[in-house]
């Protein structure tokens, strides 16, 4: 603040830079948001209207994009013919199930990892985190073989378990950071007052509750957006939204209208959730390495 008063640049260079940066931001915003606009608008267009393009180089003809009569038929086909309500439920159960399992088991493990020291703890920790970082395809090769012998392929429990492979280590890693920030003294004081160890643990849960809530949402987000596990382990009985959307692409007949509508249906809830937990998003997406 003070520096603004002391040193005030107003050189021509500075002015050029500020104009350039405004242009850059506007350009970037268009580049980021345009695909969403096209997806959203196209999902309400009849196919013939969605395929209308101005002639090459005819920049004035961009208005064609807005010439259409809105229709809901793509959303209707999605839910009436393509069974999307079922897939949505699958997505919800698989993502929610793995998120809840991960956070319950993960918070217990994270709490104890944060409170106790033992030899090989850092190795245990590295194992946990490397599970999260492993390439999904590589993890899936043996997991597929095991799940097939257990008859878990194509079932929701199988998919929940598969999602837990990345959500559980994530939960442990992040939640440990939360528990590290809660002073042990609080539990100590509780125990002096006669609480058992487990009651003391329960008493500090309200302090980490916002974080835990945010990370349930993040776990749901990761699982909901997954495609590979759902395509292989969930194939058949446990189709989720991204896989079902992908299956609208058929060699002879790509149902673009339905795909755009499915894209909106799949993306909109996650965007809302993302806004709700915005505060924790950077911490979550960088696995706790960067805090806002």
Partner 1 sequence: MTETLTGIDMSVRTPEDRFRARKVSTEVEARPLSAALPPPGRLNPAARKAYYFYLMAPAIALLAFISLYPFFWLIVMAFQKGDMGAVEWVGFKNFTDLASDDRFLSGWVLLFRYSTMCLFLQVSIGVLLAVVVNGSRYERFLVTALLMPMMMAPAVAGLLWLFLYNGTFGWYHWIFHSLGLLGSGSILSSAKTAMYAIVLVDVWQWTPLITLIALAGLKRVPRDQIEANMVDGASPFRNFFAIVLPNLYPVLLIAVLLRFMDNFRFIDHILVLTGGGPANATKILPVYLFEVAFKFFDLGRGAAIALVLLVVTIILGKILVGVFDRPTAGGR
Q: Please give the residues from 98 up to 117 whose contact with partner 1 meets the rule CB under 8 A.
A: 101, 105-106, 108-109, 111-113, 115-116
Q: Does 70 bind partner 1 (CB under 8 A)?
A: no
The structure tokens 């409170």 sit at 115
- The CB-of-118 to partner 1 minimum distance in angstroms stands at 6
Options 76, 81, 183, 237; binder of partner 1; rule CB under 8 A: 183
Contact call for residues 277 and 218 (beta carbons, < 8 A)? yes
**72 or 189: CB nearest partner 1:** 189
Per-residue contact track with partner 1, 30 to 49, x per CB under 8 A?
A: -xxxxxx-xx--x-------
Options 88, 153, 172, 219; binder of partner 1; rule CB under 8 A: 172
Written in H, E and C, the secondary structure of 170-183 is HHHHHHHHHHHCCC
Q: Does 75 bind partner 1 (CB under 8 A)?
A: no
Q: Measure the CA–CA gap between 115 and 148, rounded to whole angstroms.
A: 39
Q: Does 97 bind partner 1 (CB under 8 A)?
A: no
Q: Does 50 bind partner 1 (CB under 8 A)?
A: yes
Task: Compute how many residues bind partner 1; rule: CB under 8 A.
Answer: 123
Site for partner 1 in 218-237 (CB under 8 A): 221, 224-228, 232
Q: Measure the CA–CA gap between 247 and 227, rounded to whole angstroms.
A: 12
Q: Does 182 bind partner 1 (CB under 8 A)?
A: no
Q: Measure the CA–CA gap between 222 and 99, rounded to whole angstroms.
A: 9
Q: Enter the tokens of residue 229.
A: 């596990």
- The CB-of-123 to partner 1 minimum distance in angstroms stands at 11
Q: Does 78 bind partner 1 (CB under 8 A)?
A: no
Q: Does 95 bind partner 1 (CB under 8 A)?
A: no
**72 or 108: CB nearest partner 1:** 108
Q: Measure the CA–CA gap between 59 and 208, rounded to whole angstroms.
A: 54
Name every residue whose Cβ is closer than 8 Å to that of residue 151 and which is 6 or more positions away in sequence.
none
Q: Does 119 bind partner 1 (CB under 8 A)?
A: no
Q: Does 129 bind partner 1 (CB under 8 A)?
A: yes
Which among 74, 34, 8, 69 is positioned nearest to 248, based on CA atoms? 74
- The CB-of-261 to partner 1 minimum distance in angstroms stands at 11
Q: Does 179 bind partner 1 (CB under 8 A)?
A: no
Q: Measure the CA–CA gap between 249 and 227, rounded to whole angstroms.
A: 15
Backbone φ and ψ for 237, nearest 5 degrees, come out as -80, -25
- The CB-of-235 to partner 1 minimum distance in angstroms stands at 9
Q: Enter the tokens of residue 219.
A: 């776990």
Beta bridge partners of 254: 249
Q: Name the region of 7 (left: φ>0; alpha: ψ -120 to 50; beta: rest).
A: beta
Backbone φ and ψ for 83, nearest 5 degrees, come out as 65, 30
Q: Does 92 bind partner 1 (CB under 8 A)?
A: no
The structure tokens 């008859």 sit at 151
Per-residue contact track with partner 1, 136 to 165, x per CB under 8 A?
A: xxxxxxxxxxx-xx-----------xx-xx
Options 74, 259, 261, 280; binder of partner 1; rule CB under 8 A: 259
Q: Does 276 bind partner 1 (CB under 8 A)?
A: no
């Amino acid at each position: 603040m003070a520096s603004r008063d002391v040193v005030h640049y107003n050189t021509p260079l500075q002015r050029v830079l500020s104009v350039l940066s405004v242009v850059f931001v506007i350009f970037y915003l268009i580049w980021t948001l345009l695909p969403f606009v096209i997806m959203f608008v196209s999902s309400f267009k009849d196919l013939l209207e969605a395929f209308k393009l101005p002639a090459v180089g005819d920049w004035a003809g961009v208005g064609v994009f807005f010439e259409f009569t809105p229709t809901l038929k793509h959303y209707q086909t999605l839910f009436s013919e393509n069974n999307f309500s079922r897939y949505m439920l699958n997505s919800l159960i698989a993502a929610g199930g793995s998120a809840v399992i991960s956070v319950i088991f993960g918070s217990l493990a994270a709490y104890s990892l944060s409170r106790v020291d033992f030899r090989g703890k850092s190795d245990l920790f590295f194992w946990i985190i490397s599970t999260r970082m492993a390439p999904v395809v590589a993890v899936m090769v043996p997991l597929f073989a095991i799940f097939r012998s257990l008859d878990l392929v194509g079932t929701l429990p199988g998919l929940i378990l598969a999602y837990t492979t990345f959500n559980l280590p994530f939960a442990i890693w992040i939640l440990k950071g939360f528990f590290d920030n809660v002073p042990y003294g609080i539990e100590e004081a509780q125990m002096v007052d006669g609480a058992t160890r487990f009651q003391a643990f329960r008493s500090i849960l309200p302090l980490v509750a916002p974080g835990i809530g945010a990370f349930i949402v993040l776990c749901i987000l990761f699982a909901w957006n997954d495609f590979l596990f759902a395509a292989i382990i969930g194939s058949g009985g446990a189709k989720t939204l991204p896989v079902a959307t992908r299956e609208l692409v058929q060699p002879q007949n790509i149902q673009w209208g339905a795909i755009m509508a499915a894209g909106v249906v799949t993306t909109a809830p996650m965007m809302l959730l993302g806004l709700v937990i915005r505060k924790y998003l950077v911490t979550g997406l960088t696995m706790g390495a960067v805090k806002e």
